[in-house]
A and B are shown apart, each in its own frame.
Chain A
């Protein structure tokens, strides 16, 4: 056998190139039937022919034999003597798969058994050919063209337009038969493509080195800039700023060389969907878009498997059998879409099917039966959250286990793999209509946004992607909020217990940790910085010695000698030249032996139940560095983190631009008495809804989410936009009224919606029953501003007594549920069973609408449920119920 390694290596590289597009080519031939594009057939024939020749020359007889039989069949197709059926294409696909695996394991290829495939192929050839197939002649060979070593990526020589242009022409092989531009398909043949001249092969190692050097150049540039600034010589500054710019562009350009189009991943899906549909007896179209979107090579390599899993799931669980679809009035052929696009510096990949959708009720009951959630927790989940239960470990909803999906490893693995890449995954589903899965990924793994923290004096980096929130526990609070269970520390956070891990303890050697423990004991209690980390299956708090800046870091791999350090994910070089290790959130959880049971099961504590005082969850934040504010969580739709550059000023308004729409942004210092917010590269946006529109509030820094007392001072710091103030950890915190902020900041957006319909409801009397002073003040203030006449009572008993006065006219009752003396259920039951109050609508206000409560409420006749701080919805409910006052009886 031929022994020259480099020639064999060339053969492998070249053969893989030849076979790279064989799947799409075969599928195209299948779709084309008798009219298939002759060029595609020729390209395939030549590819197989070249492999046959080179294999014979190099003495790989098995490869040679298989390629020969494959070539015979292809020859018939080429001469139009054979129109390949689905079975033939199956056979050809399997043969090519076999050929690929032989080529990638050449050392053992000659001992592989391919006789079954060869005889099947020969059978097809003999059946369709009038004359005998060309006899097998091991001496026919084509000369292999030498090419450089295998591990290489394609690079465009005139480079680096950030636009997502395809890097290599020939990966754009069309997969659908309708595409008429099938010419590039020939690129896989031995003929040179026109684009080939513009491409060179560069080894990945060289690119990595370029990356490192570019990084080092950035570092030197930073030092130079500092030195130059202190000189104060303008002529040098011009040169240095030019250097600055060139360096930045260079780094970007080098990054760009690692980018590859997603086509490299997407190209395998047409085959996958074809084979799988056939196996499942389903019919399904696959529509791919955004193949040109480019991401880093490392992402391309890592995203394949999770996407395969998602597409399989869509086909297996999502798309229904053709007759089921027909019965439901859908087209019998299902559709799966695989779409990629750029979104705000990230890549969005969407897997969408038009299948059965996910039933949230089924997921809830499954979660309860598997002991993942209690019945109460399950019923408290919104449908959206319930659907996302599929990402929970050990959650497979397939009724029967097929060999396609549902083997116990499931969506949780997909999620943790995507999380590892610094991405997120979400599912949106409409029952009966289909399911959409949204995967958001960073453009590169080589550079990750991260937070630099300290353990002792040493800096460490944590990927922002794994950070949920930062919590600071003040020294005097530590006793109350941190306790020890079975020797492990836990933090009380919003009614749950979060396991804690001390970074210093985890990383220190035995002797260091002993010294440290003594130190910790001696030290006076100090504030604790806790990073709440999501490690896929577990969530925990990591106590660090200090927080530093956020930094975009370049990830450097750890060598083979450090493979055993599971707590470290890599290393990086910081702006000052120091080496910092990157922490691995999953590894630390494993090292600390955190288990799900620790973090969840026994430790669900009901904070509301234990304290007598009513609390509400609020997001604490700062505007100026020492100015604290809070926003009730109930009004917040979501939080986003954006770069300063994403905020545009248009016509005196700040806007955040999404792909299709814009979000109006407000800044506290424009609207209320507040210090100017600091200028930062990254900002948070708190998104809420007012007047039926989304509006965002720019927030420089999020502090934490916590339960705040409702004991609010409504006078001292009251101004439009500020409800009042309260004292938390000896700091004055102003509670914001986002609706007032919105109507102040962008009246044009919010006023019309609120004003509309006011005419009808004016001068109606609303009875408000609420024991919490805070909520009573809030809700009555809100209803009054809408022109209603509000009378308020502290509990059900007082309200019921007031109702006995026949002179009292009430058009609507809005009541809390939990109240002393008489609760809201009882009050409602009495109203609804008393003929005097026939048709008087009752709206219940709750902090959280659980299904049990809703059912109980319905029994006693409650007309509607609303969450306390969601005033838009309350307004809608009031409007809906009031006009009915003198009309017919209400129905829910």
Chain B
């Protein structure tokens, strides 16, 4: 239950105007990012209790310091093939709708600082992934960072159940 990183939650820590910071992580080869302000913490607590009758995308719940927190399998939501848990899996805990929810990711990467002007709209041809979950893309030296829309992603699970 080591918190690898305790994200700043207060406003005003952000960089200068026009800049945004993203927590980035991988699902397979896909590099995704979430606005740092939406992330509460990242941990390796993946000791999940499965939930009977839960929507497909719900991987289970964890005990996060006395709170029961739902963990969502991002692969499942985005329609990527399932994968077994490894040592590099992390739970990205986000605050959403007054609840804490864990997003299960393959592994976490750096914090990326981007100028808002450099964020591009989604290209039409992104390898067959459901586009409604993405807000924008950002070109890095080594490839593309896709910015995830957390609200839409989590709302899609509600609808399923």
CB-CB under 8 A from A506, the residues of chain B are 52
Interface size of A as a range: 20 to 34
- A-contact bits for B48-74, CB 8 A (1 contact / 0 none): 011111110010011101111010100
Determine the distance from Cα of A572 to Cα of B68 in the docked complex, in whole angstroms: 7
Any B CB within 8 A of the CB of A410: no
Main secondary structure of the interface of A (DSSP, over half): mixed
CB-CB under 8 A from B58, the residues of chain A are 561-562
- A-contact bits for B134-161, CB 8 A (1 contact / 0 none): 0000000000000000000010011001
Contact in complex: B66, A573 (CB < 8 Å):
yes
Any B CB within 8 A of the CB of A567: yes
- Give me 8 A-to-B residue pairs in the complex whose CB atoms sit less than 8 angstroms apart, sorted by A's number: A215-B66, A216-B66, A509-B52, A559-B70, A560-B97, A562-B54, A568-B52, A579-B49
Contact in complex: A507, B101 (CB < 8 Å):
no
- A-contact bits for B92-118, CB 8 A (1 contact / 0 none): 000001010100000000000000000
Q: Which 5 A-B pairs have the closest CB atoms?
A: A216-B66, A564-B161, A507-B52, A212-B66, A565-B53
Contact in complex: A568, B53 (CB < 8 Å):
yes
Q: Which residues of B contact A (CB under 8 A)?
A: 49-55, 58, 61-63, 65-68, 70, 72, 97, 99, 101, 154, 157-158, 161
Contact in complex: B161, A562 (CB < 8 Å):
yes
CB-CB under 8 A from A579, the residues of chain B are 49, 61-63, 68
Contact in complex: A571, B158 (CB < 8 Å):
no
Determine the distance from Cα of A216 to Cα of B67 in the docked complex, in whole angstroms: 9
Closest chain A residue, CB of each to CB of B72: A561
Q: Which residues of A contact B (CB under 8 A)?
A: 212-213, 215-216, 219, 458, 506-509, 556, 558-568, 571-573, 577-581, 591
Q: State the Cβ distance, B101 to closest chain A Cβ, in Å.
A: 7
Q: State the Cβ distance, B96 to closest chain A Cβ, in Å.
A: 9
Contact in complex: A573, B68 (CB < 8 Å):
yes
Q: Provided the pairs A216-B66, A571-B68, A578-B63 are in contact, do residues A560 and B99 lie with their beta carbons within 8 angstroms? A: yes
Determine the distance from Cα of A482 to Cα of B68 in the docked complex, in whole angstroms: 38
Q: State the Cβ distance, A206 to closest chain B Cβ, in Å.
A: 13
CB-CB under 8 A from B61, the residues of chain A are 571, 579
Q: Provided the pairs A579-B62, A579-B63, A579-B68 are in contact, do residues A559 and B101 lie with their beta carbons within 8 angstroms? A: yes
Q: Counting chain A CB atoms within 10 Å of each CB, which of B62, B66, B97 scores highest?
A: B66
Given A565-B53, A568-B51, 11 other A-B residues pairs in contact with their CB atoms under 8 A: A219-B66, A458-B50, A507-B52, A559-B70, A560-B158, A561-B72, A562-B70, A568-B53, A573-B63, A579-B62, A579-B63
Contact in complex: A507, B53 (CB < 8 Å):
yes
CB-CB under 8 A from A219, the residues of chain B are 66
Contact in complex: B66, A213 (CB < 8 Å):
yes
Determine the distance from Cα of A219 to Cα of B97 in the docked complex, in whole angstroms: 28
CB-CB under 8 A from A212, the residues of chain B are 65-67
Q: State the Cβ distance, B154 to closest chain A Cβ, in Å.
A: 8
Determine the distance from Cα of A213 to Cα of B67 in the docked complex, in whole angstroms: 9
Determine the distance from Cα of A213 to Cα of B99 in the docked complex, in whole angstroms: 16
Q: State the Cβ distance, A560 to closest chain B Cβ, in Å.
A: 6
Cβ contact of A581, chosen from B52, B70, B157, cutoff 8 A: B52
Closest chain A residue, CB of each to CB of B51: A562
Q: Provided the pairs A571-B68, A579-B49, A579-B68 are in contact, do residues A561 and B55 lie with their beta carbons within 8 angstroms? A: yes
Closest chain A residue, CB of each to CB of B61: A579
CB-CB under 8 A from A581, the residues of chain B are 49, 51-52
CB-CB under 8 A from A507, the residues of chain B are 52-53
Q: State the Cβ distance, A577 to closest chain B Cβ, in Å.
A: 6
Contact in complex: B161, A561 (CB < 8 Å):
yes
CB-CB under 8 A from B67, the residues of chain A are 212, 556
Contact in complex: B54, A567 (CB < 8 Å):
no
Contact in complex: B52, A216 (CB < 8 Å):
no
Q: State the Cβ distance, A29 to closest chain B Cβ, in Å.
A: 42
Q: State the Cβ distance, B104 to closest chain A Cβ, in Å.
A: 14
Cβ contact of B53, chosen from A567, A571, A573, cutoff 8 A: A567
Contact in complex: A559, B99 (CB < 8 Å):
yes
Q: Counting chain A CB atoms within 10 Å of each CB, which of B61, B99, B101 scores highest?
A: B61
CB-CB under 8 A from B51, the residues of chain A are 562, 565, 568, 581
CB-CB under 8 A from A577, the residues of chain B are 63
Determine the distance from Cα of A530 to Cα of B6 in the docked complex, in whole angstroms: 47
Determine the distance from Cα of A832 to Cα of B49 in the docked complex, in whole angstroms: 74
CB-CB under 8 A from A558, the residues of chain B are 68
Q: State the Cβ distance, A864 to closest chain B Cβ, in Å.
A: 57
Closest chain B residue, CB of each to CB of A508: B52
